[in-house]
Amino acid sequence: MRVPSKKGFIWLLIYSLIGLVVVMLVASLLHLKAVKDEPDFLIGISQPNLNEPRQLLMNNEIRKEAEKHKNVKLIFTDAAENSEKQVHDVQKLMKYGIDLLIISLNDSEKLTPIVTEVYKEIPVIVLGRGVTGYDYSLFIGSDNLSIGKKSGKLAADLLGGAPADIVEIKGAVSSRSVEETSRGFRDYLSNSPSIKADKVIVGDWQRDRAEDELSRILPSSPGVKLVFAHSDAMALGAYRAIDALGLHDVQIIGIDGLDTLNGGFDLVKQGVLSGTVTSPTGGRESIQYALDILNREKVIPKKIILGSHLITQKNAREVEAASDPGQMTSRMDVNTRKTKLGVAVVGSESSWRAANTESIKNAAGQDLNIDLIMQNAEGSQDKQIEIIRNFIKQKVDVIAFTPIVETGWDNVLAEAKAAGIPVILTDRKVKVEDDSLWTTFIGSDFVEEGRRAARWVVEHKPVAGETKIVELQGTAGSAPAIERRQGFDEVLSQNAGFRVIASEIGDFTTESGQQLMSKVLQQGTVPQVVFAHNDDMALGAIKAIEQAGLKPGKDVVVISVDATKLAFQAMLAGKLNMSVECNPLLGPQIIKAAKELATGKEIPVNIITAESIFSQETAKRDVSTRKY
Ligand code: GYE
């Protein structure tokens, strides 16, 4: 082979260098294009004020989470406790062209209209204090009723049954979250007749106002032995008032439990507070879900309710150690071995159940880190308890189950807790003495489903006179049956001209719907409306109506809940008039939660799915896209 001349070698080198420069240029242009293609998101954060430690920490958590994403830009506003100003802040943010709004409301009622307006144009995440209605993308907050109950338990434990007066320092005069907290507190204390909580003052979430108000009433209230403040900032104000008055036998408890200087966690460790109940700000989660929404990823829940825990002088140190990343010994490294998930399926009563079970199987099957053990209780609570006990024996990492009814689970869930196995409630809740027996609930807001059914009936009143309604209830004692009935009755009671003439108990099966409806019709009563707690019972009722020679959907309006394919087919046939959506496709969220729990990560206590309603008109449009 000829060796190239010196001149030829130089030309070869020049061509190679040119080629290298061209390749590098193309690569950097592609990279720039890729980065350019990754959309920049501008997120507006509207705060009610920035003098509450909670709001400051919320902003810090938002910043810290957002910093992980180069394409996220933030704009913060501070309404200085003024609702009108917060409305203007939001309007200003919209003028800046934000892609998503995160808002913590100064006043739910006053801010709901602007949130509804903005939600028509861009996604909205409401943080903390809720809006009225459902005009938002996602609500992230705490369960105020549960926090109130935990505070009541803390107060009763600290007072040890001795007769005592309590002063309650509320955050605001009229706010739904404040009233829920206070109701939970008083519900719990109703078991302690020696404790009186008649004295209530309002601190407007501010330390100084709480201090001033308490200083005003304490000198004339010698029986006060404990102060319960709805925030740790106000609890610190209470401490300053008590200290200035030289009182030494008054204990103070708060809410928030923020691990910041003079935050509740710190004040408990210092001995200033006797205890507090944590109420996470949701700042970190708001950015995580904001990006899911903006990137149009997976199913976005409608509500995320974050867990709350008691912090006392007894457990503060161990809680601190457990939350220290250096100390955190995750229960397992999810990447080294599979998460063993035990699922106790409630039964096979409906097409909804079949879709729900399939969703869990599919989600587990698509995840290499999940080892699924699924067993079917076929509608028996005893069988379900037996299956759960077997999972405990098999030392699964996580248990997930749909409690067929709300009660009767205390013992078996206590056994799971004693075995250190977290429990996920899927689509139905339980009623137990100790809510720490289960870790999270993933499912729907059944009360709202019942309200939606009733609102539709009110809006489509079939006759001018009194509208007679027959209700076909789901399984007796089950959360969906109890809560759908509750929501339905709540809305009907606000509207004249409607009467439930019969409310029969079924079991979510087609057979029970048909039997119950036949029984009502054989008694000679023809209602104008039938409200069935699920599609399967509605389809049974439709059969009974036809057997009686009547036209379902015309002579008798039929509505239900679930919005399964069968319901869509019945609506297209004109036999079913409307179905309220209840999404069974919970598999992905259940698997995600199980894996996070297996690593010891804290996850929201409630994850509520987003839902709507489907009528005969929208059924035609949406039937082809239905996934269940
Ligand atoms: O509505 C019904 C199923 O628990 C939400 O149970 C679920 C209910 C659903 O059998 O179809």
Chain segment 366-415, per-residue pLDDT in tens = 998 999 999 999 999 999 999 999 999 999 999 999 999 999 999 999 99
Superfamily of 446-582 according to CATH: Response regulator (3.40.50.2300)
pLDDT level of residue 596 (50, 70, 90 thresholds): very high
Beta strand pairing status for 440-443 and 303-306? unpaired
Residue with tokens 């699964």: 396
Mean pLDDT in residue range 581-603 = 92
Give 19 Cα–ligand 1 centroid separation in angstroms. 65
CATH class of 41-128: alpha beta
Query: What CA–CA distance (Å, rounded) separates 173 from 149?
Result: 20
Length of the chain (residues)? 628
Percentage of the chain beyond pLDDT 70 is 95
Closest CA relative to residue 580, chosen from 535, 617, 550, 547: 535
Q: Where are the alpha helices (DSSP H) in 80-206?
A: 83-95, 108-119, 144-159, 176-189
Does the CB atom of residue 401 touch ligand 1 within 6 A?
Answer: no
Q: Is 534 in the pocket of ligand 1 (CB under 6 A)?
A: yes
Please provide the average confidence, as pLDDT, over all residues in the chain. Answer: 92
Both structure tokens of 86: 């917060």
Give the model's pLDDT for residue 30.
66
Alpha helices in 379-478 (DSSP H): 381-393, 410-418, 446-459
| Phi, psi torsion values for 590, nearest 5 degrees | -65, -45
531, containing H or E segment: strand 529-532
**CA angle (37, 42, 48) in 5-degree steps:** 165
**What average pLDDT does range 151-163 have in this prediction?**
94
Q: What is the pLDDT of residue 326?
A: 41
pLDDT of residue 476: 97
Its pTM stands at 0.84
Domain boundaries, the chain: 41-128, 144-278, 339-444+585-610, 446-582
Question: Are 144-278 and 339-444+585-610 equal in CATH topology?
Answer: yes
Max Cα-Cα span within the chain? 110
Least confident of 84-93, 181-190, 258-267: 258-267
The residue-averaged pLDDT of 48-77 equals 94
Nearest to 560 by CA among 537, 584, 542, 526: 537
User: What average pLDDT does range 52-59 have in this prediction?
Assistant: 91
The number of the ligand 1 atom at minimal distance from the alpha carbon of 533 is 1
Q: What is the pLDDT of residue 472?
A: 98
Task: Give me the phi and psi of 376, to 5 degrees please.
Answer: -105, 125
Q: Nearest-CA neighbor of 612 among 578, 570, 580?
A: 580
Q: What is the rounded distance in angstroms from the CA atom of residue 108 to the CA atom of residue 503?
A: 36
Average pLDDT over residues 494-522: 96
- pLDDT tens track for 298-318: 678 999 999 999 999 988 888
Distance, in Å, from the CA atom of 577 to the CA atom of 570, rounded to the nearest integer, reads 8
**Who contacts 557 (Cβ-Cβ below 8 Å, separation ≥6)?**
457, 460, 462, 528, 529, 530, 577
pLDDT digits (tens, 9 = 90+) for 138-148: 999 999 999 99
561 lines ligand 1 (CB under 6 A): yes
Short-list 400, 401, 442, CA closest to 582: 442
For the stretch 2-49, pLDDT in tens is: 566 777 778 888 888 888 777 777 766 666 665 556 679 999 999 999
> Is residue 508's pLDDT more than 90?
yes
Give the residue carrying structure tokens 């109506």. Answer: 545
144-278 fold? Rossmann fold (3.40.50)
**pLDDT value, residue 613:** 94
Nearest protein CA to atom 7 of ligand 1, as residue = 427
Q: What is the CATH number of domain 339-444+585-610?
A: 3.40.50.2300
d(CA 311, CA 255): 10
The verdict on the CB of residue 266 being under 6 Å from ligand 1 is no
Are the C-beta atoms of 236 and 262 separated by less than 8 Å?
Answer: yes
| Ligand 1 pocket, residue 455 CB under 6 Å | no
